[in-house]
Chains A and B, each alone.
Chain A
Amino acid sequence: MTTSLFLVQLINGLQYGLLLFLIASGLTLVFGVMGILNLAHGSMYMVGAYLAWYFVEHTGSFGLSAILSAAIALLIGILVERTLIRQLYRRNHLDQVLLTIGMIFVFNALQSLLWGNDPLGVAVPEPLSGAVPLTEVLEYPVYRIFVALLCVAIAALMYFMINKTRLGMLIRAGESNREMVECLGIDIRKLYTIVFAIGVMLAAVAGVAAAPMSSIVPGMGEHILITCFVVVVIGGMGSIKGALVAALLVGLVDTFASVLLPQLSSMMIYILMAFILLLKPQGLFSS
């Protein structure tokens, strides 16, 4: 591999990893704070992508559809937490898995009814449609750089929110001791609603961001969910920092394995996960 190809693949890996982080961060946040294993997280990614397509078709503005989609996702999050997830806090993980798998089926059926089964696509928004030449043949699209930067910005925002704000303090407190937070007179249920809704919104925003560079198809949520679980497990269930490191690791390993070990590439990230779990059974940054 030449140096320039190596550098290009490095960028590919980082960019893929950052997008994975954006999707996985909501999953790990909800698990860390609320102890809820949300298998329908991938469905929210799908919903985000479909909403983006729908609003772009009707408003013509990608920025506006991103905002509308995020707002709707937030509402879906609040609604789902209030009606369904709330029943699960005192129950075990198996019940959570059952309910959230059921939600996957519901969201898939809704998608099929509302938007049909044909593959859909969203055009890259005009101001970001350019490309930076890398080699003689290869270019790097500005939009993908923008998404990578967006992911970094969201990671920084989450770091700031969790470590420097009152909400973040409550989240951290709720994570370590739910009863004590309640005893201090804080409405933990409201906190859970907020956290769950943010988790849903992060997945949907990832879906919106991915829409112009991927195809919007039925089942896109389940496919990404598996990779996200690998990220969350490697990083340590519930750790945002872990999710970031793990997502970058998975992105890089997957990219380089595709080129260097094509026969093994479909299992490399699972081999990586098994290897890390052997050394650190709780993941890299478990609390």
Chain B
Amino acid sequence: MFKPNRMLTAVAAGLATLSLSTTVAASDEPIKVGMMLPFSGVYGALGDATRNGLKMALQEKAPQLHGRKIEFIEIDTEARPERAPEISSSLLNNSKADFIIGPVHSGVAMGMLKVLRGKETVMIVPNAGAGPVTGPLCAPNVFRTSFSSWQPSYPMGEVALDNGYRKVVTMSWNYGMGKESLDAFEESFTAGGGEIVKKILVPFPKTEFQAYLSEIASINPDAVFVFFAGGGAVKFVKDYDALGLKGKIPLLGAGFLTEGTLEAQGSSAEGIMTTLHYADTLETAENLDFRKSYQAQFGKPSDIYAVQGYDTGLMIASAVNRMGGDVSDHASLIKTLENTTVESPRGAFTFSAAHNPVQNIYLRTVEGGVNKVLYVASPALSDPARGCKL
């Protein structure tokens, strides 16, 4: 739902800062950052983490903003795609936001693109991995700081081959992100001589996996590759263990299988291998600092969504800094953003021509209840951006 009270507070806070300043020159006006994130419902936790990360970065970088204040306009999308166009045009036309940040959910991303694609205002996607955002629907004003669904899964095909797996069963929910992930795995796995012996697509959001797992057991493949996230990932991993497949058939997955779910999965998750553009356990100075400050500021551990929000903030701050505080020229703002290197907790990354991160993908394994990094499965991996003409 549209949260007028939340927006009013934000606007009021903005006005208060304005009235304190004595001049009304354009550069004294705050830079408006609109957020379209889910603050309630199933993805509520993801929206909160993204917002926290974003605000933290802009706060840390405040000295580099050439005196510009930031005004946040926060709108809850509730992860409902049908509301996305309306909220987007409100942020674009009524609030006159300089940046629109969102969303978490790929369906909402499609709704936002309907309105924002090709406009002057910059849209930055801090999570939604849908391929088309930086593929066939790419646009000069649309950036992504997270990943394309192709990126985390593609390197796993090679990892599987390296481990000697030749016959693999793939499985996910029957929806965009799931299918794109399985296709990306299949692409590199079959190119290297592997065979997908069965591909199982489960109706979303069904979590009765027993029948499928019984079938996988009877096929007895070399390994199983899956895409599941959130509650479905918890259930899948527990079922995989309970039915005795764990330890007999190796389980591989896109990293979301073990992100934010490890506590609930318990010992059932031990030994699962996944690929992702981040791991909490990365021992870089950036990541250690980030995790420490986040914990201190918000009283809970950070996660991948907080990192992605943080990187979005870093990206904005860096552009504002390099443009001397004036981001009103949209063409040069886009040029500046394109040439950003984000010093992210996940490792530094740049942007491809299609505006998607060119980033390391890490191979991780679950050990002692955390995702331990084994090695970089694919350094500076760029999404092929099929269908993008940028």
A-to-B contact residues, CB < 8 Å: 2, 4-5, 8-9, 12-13, 15-16, 112, 116-121, 123-124, 131, 133, 135-141, 143-144, 213-220, 223, 254-256, 258-259, 262, 265-266
Contact = CB atoms under 8 A, between A and B. Distances in A.
A194 B288 CA distance: 56
Given A2-B218, A117-B44, A262 B242 contact: no
Instruction: Give the 7 A-B residue pairs with the shortest CB-CB distance, closest first.
Output: A139-B244, A217-B231, A121-B264, A215-B234, A266-B203, A138-B217, A137-B217
Contact of B264 (A9, A139, A215, A259): A215
Contacts of B217: 135, 137-138
A255 B211 CA distance: 6
Nearest to A143: B242
B265 A16 contact: no
Contacts of B215: 5, 259
A219 B42 contact: yes
B235 A214 contact: yes
Nearest to B45: A117
Contact of A215 (B202, B214, B231, B243): B231
B260 interface: yes
A213 B260 CA distance: 18
A213 B211 CA distance: 14
A16 B242 CA distance: 15
B151 to A, nearest CB: 24
A144 B231 CA distance: 19
A120 B205 contact: no
B375 interface: no
Most buried by A among B42, B206, B208: B208
A143 B261 CA distance: 22
Interface residues of B, number: 43
A215 B244 contact: no
A116 B232 contact: no
B210 interface: yes
Given A117-B45, A215-B231, A215-B235, A138 B242 contact: no
A213 B212 contact: no
A137 B244 contact: yes
A138 B260 contact: no
A123 B218 CA distance: 27
A133 B217 CA distance: 12
A266 B242 contact: no
A217 to B, nearest CB: 3
Given A144-B242, A255-B211, 5 more contacts: A117-B44, A121-B263, A137-B218, A137-B249, A254-B211
B261 A119 contact: yes
Contacts of B218: 2, 4-5, 8, 135, 137-138
A145 to B, nearest CB: 11
B239 A138 contact: no
B265 A9 contact: no
Contacts of A265: 203
B80 interface: no
